[in-house]
Structure 1
Amino acid sequence: MRAGVFFSIVVTALILSACESDTDVSRHPNLLVAAQDVAAMKRADGVSAPLFADALQQAQTEVDAAMAQALDIPLPKDPGGGYSHERHKKNALLLFQAGQLYTIKGDPRYANWAAEVLVRYADLYPTLGLHPEHKHQAPGKLFWQILNDAWWLTYVIQAYDMVLPAMTEDQRAQVESRLLRPYADFLSKESASTFNKVHNHGTWAAAAVGMTGLVLADDYYVNIALKGLDQSGKAGFLKQMDQLFSPDGYYTEGPYYQRYALLPFVMFARALDRHKPSMGIFEYRDRILIKAIYAAIQLTDGHYFLPLNDAIKDKGLDTIEMVYGVSIAYAKTQDKNLLAIARKQNQVVLTGDGLRVAVDLARSADVQFPFSSQLFRDGPNGDEGAVALLRAGDTTVVFKAASQGMGHGHFDRLGWQLYSQGAEIVSDYGAARYLNVEPKQGGIYLPENTSWAKQTVAHNALVVDRTSHFDGSVKRASKSSPELLQFVRGEQWQLVSAREANAYKGVVMTRTQILLEHPLLSGPLVLDLLAAESDEQHVYELPVHFQGQLMTFSGELAVNTDALKPLGTQNGYQHLWHKATLAPAAHRPLQASWLSNNRFYTLTAVAPADQTLLVAELGANDPEFNLRRDQALIARAETSGGVQFVQLLEQHGHYDGRAETVSQPRSAIARAAIEQHPGAQVLTLDTVSGQTLRIVLADDRAPERQHALSLGEQRVQWQGPVHLLVNH
């Protein structure tokens, strides 16, 4: 019998007997806070578990302040970021904290206050219709979209689980019959399209309803949460685990939404683990949830999530989703490396898992999490492209050859980013959104998210004829994925390569990126080769969006100083001011350099020979000033029969404003040329010091393949796709 079938049978058997219809309050709490952990949580102090004590004190301060005044429970009125929206969010967290305080401190004041607030919500909820500001979103009742309603219940059901033992029978009956059950019904039966959706909205709804079922001892709610409304397994929590994660733990919507979706996944899974450990939920799909937590950690720059697809850049490892994720992963693995992330977070959750992290952090020496080069395959079966991370020292190359990522995906096939010293250097815009900032259209995704942020030119990806990949159609883009060709590492180099044949009709793109380390180089060097094959005439443009201050150019620079015009009228170009054009100069490579985070960077455009480099700045056609003023260098070539762009990104030098010192502000590359030889391409870099570095890239890139090549009088032999030669 297949493992997946066996698991399904076990789950079906267990959920049918998951909850007995009893009123035994002694089994509470038993979601993320378990009764067996309470004694240890009560003993925790500032010496043995300082972060736990800090979290407890913070919760007490906030709840005591709320209890000292009348708590407002307003009629739902405002969109995201508005008063009623934020008030109901805060009330849910206060209820949750009050439950934690009652559980740990045993003070009945907290349970009594929480019970009163829950009863008030039970009085309000039956009077509510759909939220008046739902607009195009799937509507909620307390909030303008049902996603927020599901979030609210995941916290409130945990609060109820913790204070239930102190409530009267009448209070429990009122809260369950007028709030919790109708709320769970609204999220599920009355919102079937969202509940059955394989998407983070569906995950939140399933977790909220399933956790409610566990607390109320109602096997129906648990069953539909796990297997969908018709209980067939075609939807629900298990289907979400099957479809939304690749075998490597990569979440198809990207790292930002991986973080967001992790919370309902790990909360509900931990609750299931408490109630029925024999279900083995954390073993499901080869421990997919644990893999997802580790993948989320790796998919950061060490602090903030990589902004692939719709992403807001201020979300990092210290968000509450990751605090829960790390504590639960640590409980299940006892991996001491996770303590390094917990130390970065500098906070723990008030659960038994959080206490273990706090205690072990206080006892342990400082450890470093092993951030490393990794390949994260995309798609449920791992066959829908991938995201590659190439890491060397303080440098990380992010190469995106992944699937569309559903509605939150961007049109950026074979795009890339660069991080150095923990800072974004070659950047991705992320999302055009000010989350919960009410003056910015209520905090929703702005129109510029479509007109700019999702467009191909907003990324470091090839644009053909100034149109976006798949003409900006999510439906078309979702039908295919890039083909990963290679991910391989050598002693001084790391290589990733992929092909995209569907983004533009009649154009096949192949991109190879190599991260090189060599003593001749002042830092890791990125070699970027992008070939576009086509039989027709096209305009090809390859942007490099960068963070920093432009320093120098090598070439003929024509600057638009008197007037600025947008680069185009649509597909994102309407938002780019054309600041300058850099044309090739005789006997010199086309170069532009900038300063960022006290380090210098130089982009060298090696091929094609007749390309120009456009200097652009974001901000055109932005009457509401919704866009940042980011900058880009756009290599441009118009050819028939295809094109190959060859670019180098060099790191060099240092600027110290405090000491007023500067070192190596200019590129070390004096000349660059690429030639095709039998069986290999050879990139020759002549340095200003008189040395020459040759990068030999084999046409046949099998790692075990032996190669031989004559370069003048020199006979070169090597194994694998890349070989480095130095001539003094």
Structure 2
Amino acid sequence: MVTAERLAERRLEIAAAPDLQRLLAHLTERAAPLLARLPPVPEHKALLSMDGGVCPKDGTALVFDPWSPDAHRCPRCGEVARGIRHDRAWAKYQHLWLAERAAHLAALAALGGAPAAGARARDILSAYAARYFRYPNADNVLGPSRLFFSTYLESLWVLNYVSAAWLLRAAGALDEATERGVNIVADEAATLIGDFDEGFSNRQTWNNAALAAIAVWFEDEGLARRAIEDATGLVQHLRGFRADGLWYEGENYHLFALRGLLTGAGWAALAGLDCFADEQLRERITLALLAPARSALPDLTFPARKDSRFGISLAQPMYLETWEVGLGRLGMGDAGWGTREVSGWLQALYQAPATKLELFESYLHDAPIAPIPHPPSRISLSWWSLLEMPPALPDAEPWRPESVLLPSQGLAILRSGARYASLECGPYGGGHGHPDRLHLTLHADGVHWLPDPGTGSYVSRDLFWYRSTLSHNAPRLGGESQPMSDAVCEAFDAPEGGDWAWVRGRWGPLNRAVVSGPAYLVDVIELTGGEERLLELPYHLAGRGDVTLPGRWEPGELADEFVSRVERFVPEGRDAVPIVIEHAAAGARLTLHLGSAAELLRAEGPGVPGSGSQATFYLLRLRGRNARLVAVLEPTTGETAVHGMTVAGGAVEITTAKGVERHHDDGTSWRVQTPAGTVQLAGPVESEPPFKPILEIDPARPPTGAAYRVAHPPALDGTLEGFDLSEPLRLDAEDQYRRAE
């Protein structure tokens, strides 16, 4: 957020910068319908339900139209849904949209000299001040809230609400009556939000940001210290962005938490802590800004790891704005490491193809969203960019992603031209983690051949499918999903300028090695142990195809509530190795050579979220004490390079158009003998040192107390009869706190 002095400086910057002038014009145009009439303010608190907000016919999410409170259209079938549950689902986005519009209008009043916009912003602020206590703090899912069903949504809302009031006051456009109303709302919101500390969570970044904003509004030093510096405050939440920069819950929640962090950091600066002026904090934030760029898929979507939305472009306006604001903050200090990298990444995103816009709780600037794709542009972002983005993008080298190991995340990425392969070999990832250790992702030639499906709706039954091992390209044992546990990366080597790279990960008794060469990938899974176990490995291939080997499909068995049409492949003849599967999609082809004597199944399960259809997948099944599955994957748009493969002992021989290439697993290294010479890949990975907090403000102290032995168990009848009362019972430690609505 900004001061009155900074607003004056920003007006001069806008007058001198063509991009900022065009952004101001865009925001002025977007505000016109708001000035014509006051949008509807929901009469209801938002409600989370399984059927509200989705089409009764096909389950598609209904279109959010801020001007249509009681008629909600399905984008797929065109039917209009009505009813209180749909209205209350609509209310969630409407509350958020209205607060965002208040900030939008206030920014126009403060920076664009638009008194009518300021008046409409005051109307919205006053409307909520009059209604706020009518919304009950009940029917909540995740913490207290009046407008919503979860505390973090109240935080998102109040941040825009207080931002609007702050901008109006800084511009001298906030009257006393409106300010009194804002005071009442902010005070109650602080009580609700402060009553529910979620610990280390992506949502808590927004709760902290909201409390910091309210603290600055009231000049409350104690609340500011709690929101910014306490054990679960804004600064300590930087620990969620691990040493490699990526948030521990994956890219989807990384981007959400990063936007919350930057929002809170703006308010923290007004409270006296400039995160970008502190070298250590600035470095961690810079790593966080760059982390999604390092793991991005070739089509500039983020991989749907853990609980993530699938197929979401990183060129979405909300994400562009996050990097623009981050770049603006980096530029306020001495320009150095990070500034050019973020600028280069932004320039790559602005050159991306037109993107279908998505609905986000923390960014509703474009609602109602048009169904046609929208080219990414810095001159069509929201009011926050008008306040903080750089007047122009700094010059930078083109963005060139490289193979990389993100050690804290345990994500190893092997890039070769437009081909991307990654292996999950790290921590589970908390409550949003998936049982997908040693999952393999493959994206090549514009096709997401082996996707991580992410997660669909949290209130849909298929959530259990997407949170299963079977929905991933990851191994499982005993026919069950992996238990919640961590994997480790044992080796990674991607020599700069080289054609070969590899990674080996271990999870329990399993290890998986993926070797990337100029034309193909080698994929080897090994099971070790003293007992015989059932090993299964799914491959969820995109496109359409089948086995090329002569044979037939017979009914098979694969017990899972989401799986149907299970078949097993019976090859003709006795020599059935290797089995070759070919799939085609979008003018490209993937050939999968299976070099192990394993049972091959084919089945159907839910497709990737949003597809609305079933999809075919394959599964290898093998029982043994020391089992091994070997595969070669070749994506191409031309002639195939791999003509055959054989597996003998620890070696894999691959016949190519240029000759035979022999692969040897040497334990701690991988050796490739090609007609052109021998390549040795090593790179053992050391375990990361134990986590240390960035800032140790108040070291945690374990609770202490007296516990006396009694001769006979108390009756536990609601009285103190039978207890030793010589010492008081204290319930003042944080882990003893309980909240009752």
Alignment TM-score, normalising by the size of structure 1: 0.76
With over 3 angstroms needed to count, the CA separation of the structure-2 counterparts of 1:419 and 1:152, relative to structure 1, is same
Corresponding residue for 2:219? Answer: 217
1:612 aligns to what?
Answer: 599
| Structure 2 counterparts to residues 16-35 of structure 1, below 5 A | 29-30=2-3, 34-35=6-7
Pairwise mapping of residues 327-726 of structure 1 onto structure 2 (< 5 A)? 327-331=324-328, 332=330, 333-335=338-340, 336-341=343-348, 343-344=350-351, 345-347=376-378, 349=381, 359-361=391-393, 368-378=398-408, 386-433=410-457, 444-450=458-464, 452-470=465-483, 477=484, 480-490=485-495, 491-501=498-508, 508-517=509-518, 524-558=519-553, 567-569=558-560, 574-581=562-569, 583=571, 586=575, 589-607=578-596, 610-619=597-606, 628-639=613-624, 641-654=625-638, 664=639, 667-676=640-649, 681-687=650-656, 689=657, 691-701=659-669, 719-721=680-682
Residue pairs, 1:174-189, within 5 angstroms: 174-188=180-194
One-letter code of the match for 1:515?
A: S
Report matched runs for 1:150-169 at 5 Å: 150-164=155-169, 165-169=171-175
Change (3 A) 1:718 1:594: closer
In structure 2, relative to structure 1, the CA distance for the partners of 1:71 and 1:718 (3 Å cut) is closer
State how far apart, in whole Å, the 2-side matches of 1:373 and 1:266 are: 28
Distance 2:318 2:584 in 1: 34
AA aligned to 2:521 is V
Q: Distance in 2 between matches of 1:71 and 1:718?
A: 66
Q: Normalising by structure 2, what TM-score?
A: 0.75
Secondary structure of 1:252's counterpart equals coil
Alignment partner, residue 290 of structure 2 = 294
> Shift of the alpha carbon at 1:424?
1.2
Question: RMSD between aligned alpha carbons?
Answer: 3.2
- Structure 2: which amino acid aligns with 1:447? R
- Choose from 231, 235, 244 the match for 1:238: 235
> Which of the two has greater helix per residue?
1
Relative distance call for 1:350 and 1:461 in structure 2 (3 A) is: closer
After TM superposition, the structure 1 = structure 2 runs for residues 96-175 of structure 1, keeping only pairs within 5 Å, are 96-132=103-139, 134=140, 136-164=141-169, 165-175=171-181
CA contact (8 A) 1:131 1:143 kept: no
Deviation of residue 315 (structure 1)?
2.5
Q: Note if contact 1:532-1:643 (Cα within 8 Å) is conserved in structure 2.
A: yes
| Cα displacement (A) at 1:79 | 2.6
Instruction: Say if 1:326 and 1:341, in contact at 8 Å, map to a contact too.
Output: no
Give, in whole Å, the separation in 2 of the partners of 1:353 and 1:94. 14
Please report how far the alpha carbon of residue 180 of structure 1 lies from its aligned counterpart in structure 2 after TM superposition.
Answer: 1.3
Distance 1:112 1:218 in 2: 28
- Hey, what's the Cα distance between the residues in 2 that align with 1:34 and 1:297? 31
Secondary structure, in 3 states, of the residue corresponding to 2:591? strand
C-alpha spacing 1:650/1:626, structure 2 compared with 1 (3 Å): closer
- Give the 3 Å change call, closer, same or farther, for CA 583–224 of structure 1 in structure 2: farther
Unaligned runs of 5+ in 2: 54-88, 331-337, 352-375, 684-741
CA positional deviation for 1:417: 0.5
More displaced 10-residue stretch of structure 1: 85-94 or 167-176: 167-176
Identity %, equivalent residues = 17
Counterpart in 1 of 2:268?
272
Deviation, 1:509, is 0.7
Contact 1:510 1:532 in 2 (8 A): yes
Contact 1:541 1:635 in 2 (8 A): yes
Alignment match of 1:40 (pick from 3, 8, 12):
12
Compared CA separation, residues 62 and 511, structure 1 to 2 (3 A): same
Q: Partners in 2 of 1:670 and 1:296 — Cα distance?
A: 37
What does the per-residue CA deviation read over 1:176-211, in whole Å, with 9 as the maximum and x for residues that have no partner?
Answer: 3311121122111x33xxx24210121111111112
Where do 5+ consecutive residues of structure 1 fail to align? 1-27, 228-232, 379-384, 434-443, 471-476, 502-507, 518-523, 655-663, 723-728
Asked if the contact 2:469–2:481 (Cα under 8 Å) also holds between the matched residues in 1, the reply is yes
Give secondary structure in 2 for the equivalent of 1:601.
strand
Which is further off, 404-413 or 339-348? 339-348
